[in-house]
Amino acid sequence: MPIIAFQGRPGAYSDLVCRQARPVWETLPCSSFSAAIEAVHDGRADEALLACENSLAGRVPEIHALLPNAGLHIVGEHFHRVEHCLLVVPGTPIEAIRAVHTHPVALGQIRNLLAELDVEGVPQFDTAGAAEMVAQWQRPGDAAVASSLAGELNGLEILRRNVEDAAHNTTRFYRVAPQPDWPDPSHDGTLTTLLMRVGNKPGALYAALGGFARYGVNMTRLESYMLGGSFAATQFLMDIEGHPEQDNVRLALKELTQVSDDLKLLGIYPRSLARV
């Protein structure tokens, strides 16, 4: 059976997305993003699912650091609406809760719940890991906030669903594989992810991006970050609409190669139907 790796414990949101993206595949929990990437390299997994950005928390910095040298290709994107559940030992009344355990990012997304219950939010390394600990402790005073899958896998009761403060809390994921899987150039819904560098000088970014405007190529994402602690050059990761073999994209990329350094294609893949 094919295997898809993810970062987190069984029942993590990434695990849930893996099961949706690859319904008949086995999922492989990994301790970190780098461990998930390594699982693909050493043959323990056929693909990996990597969270790249969230509508509330923004980009996932570790992915930006890992992707350029991961040696893998983006073959798909997936969106998941994060639905936090309040999980307790079965039979626990809500008034018995004294502490809520979850990932630090999730704690920032459930402030209203913590204020309503007047309880302490305790940061843990992982949402699903917090559910595991609450199940092991069997203490009515301790609750977890995690996915419904984490509750099911750990035998916990869902006291409340959708306890997040914002209804638009959505995470985007890249699905990566050892080999590229380019869609047909005639496919309308294609995205291309690029990585490039520009020098720290006036007009460098303008020159690099001008071709996209001239040839009508839409950019859906642009992220910048410094390289190796240096302020002399900046690296950019971008998602654009279209396929490199389509005329307008080909011409725009030709211009880009002339004014930027170290241009890499990280992936060419179908646009998710969930993208709006």
pLDDT tens readout for residues 10-20 = 999 999 999 99
- Strands across the sheet containing 85-88: 120-123, 99-102, 142-146, 85-88, 157-161
Q: Look at residue 276 and tell me whether its pLDDT is greater than 80.
A: no
Enzyme catalytic residues: 171, 173
pLDDT of residue 200: 75
Higher local confidence (pLDDT), 108 or 239: 239
Predicted local confidence at residue 63, as pLDDT: 85
Q: Model's pTM, two decimal places?
A: 0.88
- As given in the structure block, the two tokens for residue 127 are 């949402």
Q: Nearest 5 degrees, angle CA 230-CA 232-CA 238? A: 90
Mean pLDDT along residues 226-248? 84
pLDDT of residue 261: 79
User: Predicted confidence band at 228 (pLDDT cuts at 50, 70, 90)?
Assistant: low
